Chain A
Amino acid sequence: MRGPTEEPAWLRRLLCLLAAAVLVVFFLLPLAAVFTEALRRGLAPALAALADPDALAALRLTLLVAAIAVPVNTVGGIAAAWAIAKFEFRGKRLLTTLIDLPFSVSPVISGLVYVLLFGAQGWFGPWLQRHGIEIIFALPGLVLATIFVTFPFVARTLIPLMQAQGRAEEEAAATLGSSGWQSFRRVTLPNIRWALLSGVLLCNARAMGEFGAVSVVSGHVRGETNTLPLHVEILYNEYQFVGAFAVAALLALLALVTLGAKALLERLTGRKLAGA
């Protein structure tokens, strides 16, 4: 017999079937399509597309951009979460809202704002040109746009957790005579390490996969200012479909690894960690 707070069995079965259909149509088929198209002519052409010098240059650039952007946002995110979760101060609400701002801005606008500042006709454009400094259509522009779009990830994962943990343990450490750095390293950091790792992973996945923002500031010079997602677009527009889907499949693998690691971390901590 069914309980009073349960749906009839046929309805439960129907809902599960519908959910399974959503899983297949929304999530599994798109993934399968990427890998099928990449391997349409077998493994060799797909691997050849990945070993292409332009693809390798794009891979190196993607890794370099992420290697700069992710640490910057990790340090900033920890500082913001520390201040917001452990202290009361004026303007806290405003600060929390502002940190989330980049998530509600179109990626294209995230790139546009740096062009408005540093582009040829930007506020600082003429000055930069006179001094021979390149930001737009060069590495610094790519890094800035990437930092902008991945800005909130670490702070957002840490703030709810650190708020829940409160400040009792740090205060205990302080009364026992530990300095601020000591208690941060020995008390706070161990308490937040898994959430921090999860935030860094999500931040990294977005940094390596960002398209719109870097597309605006990149200039699309092959082998120089082309990241992997931009390389996908170039190949696709040149009708090199196997190559485009092969690079896309590599990026999809990165996403799958990130999701797997996040699920593992959630099991370790026994709680749901904030997403994007």
Chain B
Amino acid sequence: MKQPLPGLGLALGLTWLWLGLIVLVPLAALVIRPWELGAAGVWAVVTEPRVLAALRLSFGAALLAALVDLPIGLLVAWVVVRYRFPGRRLLDAAVDLPFALPTAVAGLALTALYAPNGWLGAPLAALGIKVAFTPLGVAVALAFVGLPFVVRSVEPVLRDLARDAEEAAAMLGATRAQTWWRVLLPALGPALASGVALAFARAVGEYGSVIFIAGNTPMLSEIAPLLIVVQLEQFDYAAAAAIGLAMLALSFLLLLGFNLLQRRLRRGLA
């Protein structure tokens, strides 16, 4: 077909140039550089106990944070779409705060809040729960940065959801709880899964909001991105790239899993 609009060649050329120079060539370096250590060398770097502990923390805390964001995000999206109450507009706008707030500022804020003498840290410490400078603190920071992804994934689906399915369920004698379980949650399932996947993907690589609250104790509260920085400070580029590549490969595998789950949930709908 002839394209009656001009500009495709120019736009595509500009796009691929921009993409290639800024994203593709640099990422190629990340994929190629580790192998100058040899396969055994790469394996030795990523299976070092300190690196393994950091990977476990980054992925574990990110998964935990994304799962915590699931009910909270659903609650916020539901209330913002379905109910009218004072402060609804404010809540709707505030959801984007973690997107817009610089990560270092979020890190400082959460550390001040959850430190043993902080507004939330002090009462929690009285209950015997330490948040700042522990793995729990890492999860708190990751839940903060991930929440908007869940809310913003579910919200548009909820807005477009026709009420007639719910009405039909009610007419057929379903209780509201049954309607929730059998009608609403299945319809929201794919959006929830993709929101959780996005929150997880963001949380795995998060750096700025975590390093202040984590305390960065080796083997306990060190995240994987921090170890990349540590290797770079020792000018060990290949080892830094190996950890980076391992992170990318792991999150790619996990996101693939999320994708399959989402597809199954969607098929359940049809």
**SS class of chain B's interface: helix, strand, loop or mixed?**
helix
Q: What residues of chain B lie closer than 8 Å to A167, measured between beta carbons? A: 5
Interface check A272, CB cutoff 8 A: yes
Interface check B225, CB cutoff 8 A: yes
Query: Which of these, B112, B204, B205, contacts A33 with CB under 8 Å?
Result: B112
Complex-state Cα separation, A229 to B75, whole angstroms: 32
Complex-state Cα separation, A121 to B33, whole angstroms: 11
Chain B residue nearest in CB terms to A72: B18
Which of B41-49, B91-99, B128-136 participates in binding chain A?
B91-99
Contact assessment for A108 and B23 in the assembled complex, using a CB-CB cutoff below 8 Å? no
Q: What residues of chain B lie closer than 8 Å to A232, measured between beta carbons? A: 104-105, 108
Assuming the A-B contacts A5-B167, A15-B78, A108-B207, are A83 and B8 also in contact, with contact meaning beta carbons closer than 8 angstroms in the complex?
Answer: yes
Q: What residues of chain A lie closer than 8 Å to B214, measured between beta carbons? A: none
Assuming the A-B contacts A106-B204, A151-B22, are A251 and B102 also in contact, with contact meaning beta carbons closer than 8 angstroms in the complex?
Answer: yes
Interface check A127, CB cutoff 8 A: no
Which of A44-52, A96-104, A189-197 participates in binding chain B?
A96-104
Q: Can you list 19 pairs linking A and B with CB atoms under 8 Å apart?
A: A8-B176, A22-B76, A27-B95, A79-B18, A80-B18, A101-B27, A102-B23, A106-B244, A107-B225, A108-B226, A108-B228, A148-B23, A151-B22, A151-B23, A215-B207, A216-B232, A229-B102, A232-B105, A259-B93
Q: Which residues of A line the B interface, CB within 8 A?
A: 4-8, 12, 15-16, 18-20, 22-23, 25-31, 33-34, 37, 72, 75-76, 79-80, 82-83, 86-89, 95, 98-99, 101-109, 112-117, 119-123, 144, 147-148, 151, 167, 170-171, 174, 179-180, 184, 202, 205, 208-212, 215-216, 229-230, 232-233, 236, 244-245, 248, 251-252, 254-256, 258-260, 262-263, 272, 275-276
